Each structure stands twice: as structure tokens, then as C-alpha cells.
A and B are shown apart, each in its own frame.
Chain A
């Protein structure tokens, strides 16, 4: 240590690791530290010993009936990756895909009228699904065709509307779509947490529906992919990118002191008695409690099951359940993600179901009852309530750039938007996501090989 860095990054959460990787590739001198002895911070995947210790302390030990600790890679923040979403674009931009393996999530369900229904993944399924009543099929089909054809810069596709002005509610009414269909579209396809989008201009909702459709078309089955060994692989992959380009990594480094030298315009960071300096700090909210504010709470309940959940297709080894707010008289949606040994996140025969929701009452876990009812017997449960935290300032004044904590959405779009926004503030440049030259070369070679085989 005892060096000067362009940027010191604190905390190895996914956002911090992406930024560390990007800045190192840009040629910045980066030091990345974490007080924990593992990568991932709040977005880590833990083995059973780590998970047990987190909730029970160091005294007790996990029961042997749970199986080998190292077989577990349990996400603290449950999310799925949209196949055409921003995170995939970031993976392709940085060529970090080479460190990761993915599988498609087997299916997605939406809770409606007291039971779960599979979200259709093919036209045939859509036509036969009980989610859509007979009288709704034709208006819905017209609406989907409109969405599919809509191009922001082509007025001929706008059906005489300005979707930057017309609300989504008005658009739904124009197509004669009834409340249950609206609920399905807004929550199971556009993936909104609540209904505030209805009074917003329709453009964003249309773009989200198109993202869902693109993602679904990419691999079929569902619009989601998920890495083997859990989401904790993602920060590790981006950290390796940073290291390849010269980033320095230090785990097990508690931060004792951070001093701002106004005269020299540098920041001094002290860990274990050693001090280094930098121009800028990037960190997760836990490193600067006085520079952040709380904006609500999120409950996450990690449930270990001894078999597939009874209400879904038993063959599904991974799936999502969306519980729209209105179905259970809430203000925002609840999500369940179910994973198994197929994705190497638990021993064979076990399943992990993670329920997440925004806290709305003084009894958060009771709010999860409708989700628990879908899971069947729960062998073990780990319940966490976290604050949703945002930085107070944007960092341009003091050169401390703090990420938001992870929200209750079931995907990574908001995570990536925060990263892109931070990158802009840190560097002054937009992050333009393009496919990495190495990958373009691979694709070209693959294309040539196909032609030779024909």
C-alpha cells in the first residue's frame, strides 16, 4: 500500500465490481477493498456455513440434514437476468462471459385468482392459457401486434399516438383490455413492482414489454437466464476483469478512517494502520452511513425445500413466480425465485426458494404468507429485512460515488442503470455498450465455419 490510486473502490458488490472492471479497462489505477473475506458484499452467494453464521452467529452449526455446506451457493439478493437485458449487454461489452456459465430458467408463473398460472412462452400456450379469457384474446392479439411493430423513430408504427404523452392506462383502454389482462401485462411482462406506471407515458412500458419479448425469443422457455453457482459469480467475474487490467484486490480489509484533504484535493483511506490516497472513491452504501438515506425496507426469505414446489411443474428445476399486488391486496408485487442443484446452488434433492417483497406493514414476514403457501414444506428458513438505501448526493462535490442498494425488482435493469449513471458521474463519459471485439471475432469465425459446413 502507501500508494496513490485514481480510484479506490470499497465493497465488492456487483455494482462496485462492474465499475472497478470498467475503470481498470479504461486505464485507471484502481484499488478495490472489502471488509469481508469473500466477494459479493450484499450481492454475494454464500455457502451454508456462511449463511448459517450470518443468521445464527458463530456458536451454532448448520444441521447435517441440510447437506454439504460447499454445495450451497445461496443468493442474498434474488434476481434473474433478462436474456436481452442490460446486464447481458455489459457482459458482452466486457467479454466477461468467458468466466461464466448460464442456463435458461425453466419457466415463469404468475399468481392469479388464488393459484399460479404459467406465463405463456409460446403462441400455442398463449392461446390455451386460462390467464386470458375467450373474449380477451382478440383485443390482446391486436395489442401485442402493435407493441411488436412499434418503433420509436417510425411514426407509421405509432397508430396515431404519441406514446411519450399518452398514458399506459389510456393505451390499455384504447385497445379494450380489461383489468385482469392489464394486471398480467403490467406485472408479468413489463415486470413493474406496482401500478404507478399506469399514469405514466406508455413509451417505457412498451419498451419493457419488447425487452421481455426479445428476452423470451432468445432461448425460449423463459426470458431469464441464471449463472451456475449463483449470482455471486457475477461480481467475481467482473473483479477478475479489473485484476486482469491491473486492478489491485484486497479482501479482509476493514476501513478505519477516510479523510478528505481539501488542500491537496485527495482522499486518504486508512485500513489496518496503512494509509493510501486516491482522487475518487466508489463504494456501496455501508461504507458511508452519514452520506446515505433510507428509502423503505425489503424483506427476503431464503427457504430450503426438500423437493420441487407442489404448485408448479415438478420437472421445473428453476422458475419464477410473480404475485401481483392486487391479487393479494398489497401495494407492490411479491416475487419467488426457485432454484435447484441444476444450477449448482444446493445439494441434489434440495431446492432453494427465495421470496422477496417491499415491506408494507409492521409485520413483514406475515406479508409473505401467500408466497409461503405455494412452497410446500420448508425445511429451513433465513429471513432478512434490509433497508433500501440511496446516496444523498451524486458525488460530484466530494468525489465519493455511492451506489444504491439492491431493490426488490426481480431483474437487474435498475442495477445496471445505477452503474451506468455512476460511471457517467465518475468519468464524465456515457457508458456505451457495444459487443467486445473478441466476441465479434468469435461470431465471425463461427459464421465462416457454418458456411464451410454447408
Chain B
């Protein structure tokens, strides 16, 4: 882990094929690649201003609602993504938000920051307007919400989402409760010390 720098864990969830991986790829790699349903993307650390964002993709386990508790654990931000050409993916965000809250240890779900992304606004078949989406989210999800229209394909608002997170986090205390020095590293090379009790 990066020492000294604040680490913010961000998880991104939503129905399959709404563009979660493309959004992360667009932000991380600054390029858009048409992808098969998620293969091989994991988590990545990105420095943004004075914080380090630890961005977690779902690895496809969301397809059958089989995300692990450990995927969600310790998340500081939750990004909920739907596809503006498919109303059902918006309505299912409530299920995803509920799944997140059930599986995490959030003390106050009302205060926890969720970011809603309406992705694929480049698509001429848009059926969910920004206004309707914001209203639906307020009515059905509520709490601490921030909404962005996005397009991973045309790189619209992607940077703004993650800048928003880093700006919000800069002034907040580190949420991690475990002193890092108590954690051991399995990947360090073995020391030369030997002992025989």
C-alpha cells in the first residue's frame, strides 16, 4: 500500500454491460476499448491530487448477484451505474444499493456517499433523461447522492466523477481503523534471520 497518502476505496456496481469496466478503463487508461463482459479487470490504484483512489471492478460476479462481502468491505465510496438506454438497469440500482448496505458495516446508510452514473449518453437510443433519473434516485434510493451523466465511449464526465471523489475526500480524516504497521506483508522477501526454539 502507498504509505502516508490517504487511500480511498471506491467500488463500482450495477447490472452487467452497463459500462462499469469501460468507465474504469476510460479513467485509468485514458482510452476507451469495447470490451466483452468483464474479463480480467481487478482493482487499480490511481493518484488524484493528494489522495490515492483504489478502484474496484466487480470481475463479473455481479451477473448472478454473487459479489463477495469482502469486495464491499471498507469502501469509502460506492458508484452505482446504469445504462440510460435501459430503464430496468436504473430501477435495479435499488437492489444493488441494498446489497451494498446489507453486506457492509456502514453505520449510517443515509450519510454514506453514493454516486449515480447514467452511462452511454452517447447512444441515440437514450430513454432515461437526466432529470427523470435524478428524480427516481431521490425517490427510491435517497440519502447522500451525487448524479453524473456519463459516456465512457465519448469520454464525457468520466474525469469529473473521480475528481469529485478526490476533492470530497481531501478534507476528511482517513477512515481506515487498522494501523498499517500491524499488518504483515506476505510478498516481502523472506528475511535472513533464523531461530530455532
Contacts and interface: CB of A to CB of B under 8 A. Distances in A.
Contacts of A98: 42-43
Interface string A37-51: 011000000000000
B131 interface: no
Contacts of B64: 248-251
Interface string B172-187: 0000001000111011
Interface residues of B, number: 33
A272 to B, nearest CB: 11
B132 interface: no
B66 interface: yes
Interface stretch (A100-108, A170-178, A290-298, A377-385): A100-108
Contact of A103 (B40, B183, B196): B183
Nearest to A34: B66
Contacts of A395: none
Contact of A148 (B69, B71, B188, B196): B196
B170 to A, nearest CB: 25
Contacts of A217: 191, 193-195
Contact of A249 (B66, B70, B182, B190): B66
Interface string B125-162: 00000000000000000000000000000000000000
A237 B68 CA distance: 9
Nearest to A210: B196
Contact of B70 (A99, A147, A252): A99
A372 B22 CA distance: 55
Contacts of B63: 248-249
A102 B197 contact: no
Interface in A207-241: 213, 216-220, 225, 228-229, 233, 236-237, 239-240
Contacts of B123: none
Interface string A20-62: 0000000000000000001100000000000000000000000
B184 A219 contact: yes
A122 interface: yes
A189 B70 CA distance: 33
A386 interface: no
Nearest to A32: B66
Nearest to A246: B39
Nearest to A121: B197
Given A119-B197, A236-B68, A92 B186 contact: yes
A309 B8 CA distance: 37
Interface in B1-53: 39-43
Given A92-B186, A246-B39, A39 B68 contact: yes
A88 interface: yes
Nearest to A99: B70
A104 B196 contact: no
Contacts of A245: 39-40
B191 A443 contact: no
Contacts of A97: 186-187
A240 B197 contact: no
Nearest to B193: A217
A439 B65 CA distance: 31
A196 interface: no
Given A239-B68, A251-B66, A447 B189 contact: yes
B60 A246 contact: yes
A70 B66 CA distance: 19
Given A71-B105, A144-B196, A217-B194, A250 B66 contact: yes
Nearest to A88: B186
Nearest to A31: B64
Contacts of B197: 119-123, 125-126, 144, 189, 213, 216
A122 B43 CA distance: 39
A442 interface: yes
A443 B189 contact: yes
A122 B69 CA distance: 38
Contacts of B105: 70-71
Contacts of A148: 194, 196
A442 to B, nearest CB: 6
A103 B182 contact: yes
Nearest to B71: A240
Contacts of B190: 84, 218
Nearest to B64: A250
B89 interface: no
Contact of B73 (A120, A229, A239, A249): A229
Interface of A: 38-39, 70-71, 84, 88, 91-92, 97-99, 101-104, 119-123, 125-126, 144-145, 147-148, 189, 213, 216-220, 225, 228-229, 233, 236-237, 239-240, 243-252, 342, 344, 439, 442-443, 446-447
25 contacts: A38-B69, A39-B68, A39-B69, A88-B186, A91-B186, A97-B186, A98-B42, A102-B183, A121-B197, A145-B196, A217-B191, A218-B190, A220-B195, A228-B183, A229-B70, A236-B69, A237-B70, A239-B61, A239-B68, A243-B59, A243-B60, A246-B60, A250-B66, A252-B65, A446-B188
Given A38-B69, A228-B178, A240-B71, 15 more contacts: A39-B68, A102-B183, A103-B182, A213-B195, A216-B197, A217-B193, A220-B195, A229-B70, A236-B70, A240-B59, A240-B70, A244-B59, A250-B66, A251-B65, A446-B188
**Closest 9 pairs between A and B when the two form their complex, measured CB to CB:** A236-B68, A249-B66, A243-B59, A250-B64, A120-B197, A236-B70, A251-B66, A144-B196, A97-B186
